[in-house]
Amino acid sequence: MINIKLYAVQLRINQYDSYDSYVKMHTELSRKVDGTEPFTLLPLITPDDGNGYHSRDIVDLESDDITLTAEQYLDLLEKGIEMVLKQTIVKQVDPALLFSKVNEKSLEQLELPSGNTYNNKCEVHMPGSALATYNDMMLLEDACTDQLQGALNSGWRIVAACPQPDQRRPDYILGRFNPDQSEDGSAHRG
């Protein structure tokens, strides 16, 4: 289990008392944000009535209360966005359960191939959209079925089986989604 901190805050953005303060707040906020904020900055609206003031939202929020991640909270603090911290929320998350649900969801969304998926020229089956979920690769050379089964039990999936002319057993290229993937640029060897 890992703990994730969330911050419940009340933003003080859509609060102003005149059209001039609305324009001023909108101008200041548009200078501070750069598209990474957790809300959408609405376009500046010119007055449409005779007295020059009407109530307009500056950001697109259903409520001034919003829950932020630690990164979003620090980003808004650095930008000088006015807000009041109402509560710090600690949520426990089981990464194994989370990733199994992500895997189930991606499998639900996979389209079953229709028609011929065999490439006669290369003598291989064409891959489906499951390849888009892999960010970690491994090569099993001359692998026995026990070694292959162990890798499959560890979350690896077969990307390609490569029979070799002078080997008793094939080589396998395996893939999986790894949230802690390092960027060293090399594949695993099994």
What is the β-pairing status of strands 118-119 and 171-176?
unpaired
Residues 78 and 141 in one domain: no
- The answer as to whether 9 is a domain residue is yes
- The answer as to whether 62 is a domain residue is yes
Q: Is 63 or 162 the better-scoring residue by pLDDT?
A: 162
- The answer as to whether 67 is a domain residue is yes
Rounded (5°) CA angle 50-52-56: 120
- The answer as to whether 101 is a domain residue is no
pTM over 0.85: no
User: Would the pLDDT of 71 be above 70?
Assistant: yes
Count Cβ atoms below 10 Å from residue 125 Cβ, excluding itself: 13
- Coil, helix or strand for 84? strand
pLDDT at position 122: 64
- For the chain, the residue count is 190
Distance from C-alpha of 72 to C-alpha of 89, rounded to nearest angstrom: 14
Average pLDDT, the chain: 78
Structure tokens at 52: 């020059």
Residues 89 and 124 in one domain: no
Residue 180 is given by DSSP the state T
Residues 183 and 125 in one domain: yes
Residues 124 and 84 in one domain: no
Q: Which domain holds residue 43?
A: 2-93
Residues 137 and 74 in one domain: no
Distance from C-alpha of 89 to C-alpha of 27, rounded to nearest angstrom: 32
Residues 66 and 139 in one domain: no
Residues 13 and 73 in one domain: yes
pLDDT at position 56: 72
Q: Is 185 or 21 the better-scoring residue by pLDDT?
A: 21
Residues 173 and 128 in one domain: yes
Count how many domains the chain has: 2
Among residues 84, 27, 24, 16, which one has the least CA distance to residue 56?
Answer: 16
Reported as a single tens digit per residue, the pLDDT across 20-39 is 888 888 888 887 776 666 77
- The answer as to whether 113 is a domain residue is no
